[in-house]
Structure 1
Amino acid sequence: MTTYSGPARLTLVDGTRVSGMASLSTNQRGGVDGWGGTFRPDRTDDDIRNAGDGLTLELPYDQTGSVAVTGVRKLLATQILVSLAGSGPAPF
């Protein structure tokens, strides 16, 4: 299993870029390769809460991967945690 934890930027379908922190890992169960994890945005608004498919996650050094939001939950009064499922090669 490979992991990444650190700064990231989520690009929404409309091109809006949201900075935050990502915690990602690969999962290789039963011969199925995939990756995913969570993203904690620096700001919280309805665009992020309502995001779905067709997003891009950018890591340092211009590494990018396609992601879909699989869930959103409230962490604190002003923070949310976004669950992501990646498609294609992992960018880390």
Structure 2
Amino acid sequence: MPTNYSGPARLILVDGARISGMASLSTNQRGGLNGWGGTFRPDEITAELRNAGEGVHLELPYENTGEVSVTGMRKLLATQLLVSLVGHGPAPF
């Protein structure tokens, strides 16, 4: 079973909006706790994305999806945003 994924993905927001981008995800198994998370770099920045929090889903190729929470955002460049994610439930990779 893979412990990381890096590649294309889509965030599916609570209102159903889909935002394409690139994800970099990994599992963490420290101290007996299973979890996963990582970052997402969207192709476009929308007001809906800036307000995202709980109840968001991340879709990977081949329709593998997982529920995530947006835990933070930071600007990379003038036109790029890096979104921090924490996964809930089984990892979709």
Q: TM-score normalised by the shorter chain: which range applies?
A: over 0.9
Q: Which has the higher strand share?
A: 1
Structure 1 runs not aligned, ≥5 long:
none
- Give aligned pairs, total: 92
Residue in 2 that maps onto 1:80: 81
Structure 2 gaps of 5+ residues are none
Following superposition, the deviation at residue 59 of structure 1 comes to: 0.2
- Give every structure 1 segment of 4 or more consecutive aligned residues whose post-TM-superposition deviation is greater than 6 Å: none
Q: CA offset at residue 74 of structure 1?
A: 0.5
Please give the root-mean-square deviation of Cα atoms over the aligned residues, in Å. Answer: 0.9
- Residue 33 of structure 2 aligns with which residue? 32
Q: What is the TM-score of this pair, normalised by structure 2?
A: 0.96
Identical columns (%): 74
**Paired position in structure 2 for 1:2:** 3
What is the rounded CA distance, in whole Å, between the counterparts of 1:42 and 1:26 in structure 2? Answer: 24
Number of the residue aligned with 1:52: 53
Q: TM-score, normalised by structure 1?
A: 0.97
Deviation per residue, 1:47-74 (Å, 9 max, x gap): 1111000001000011000000000000
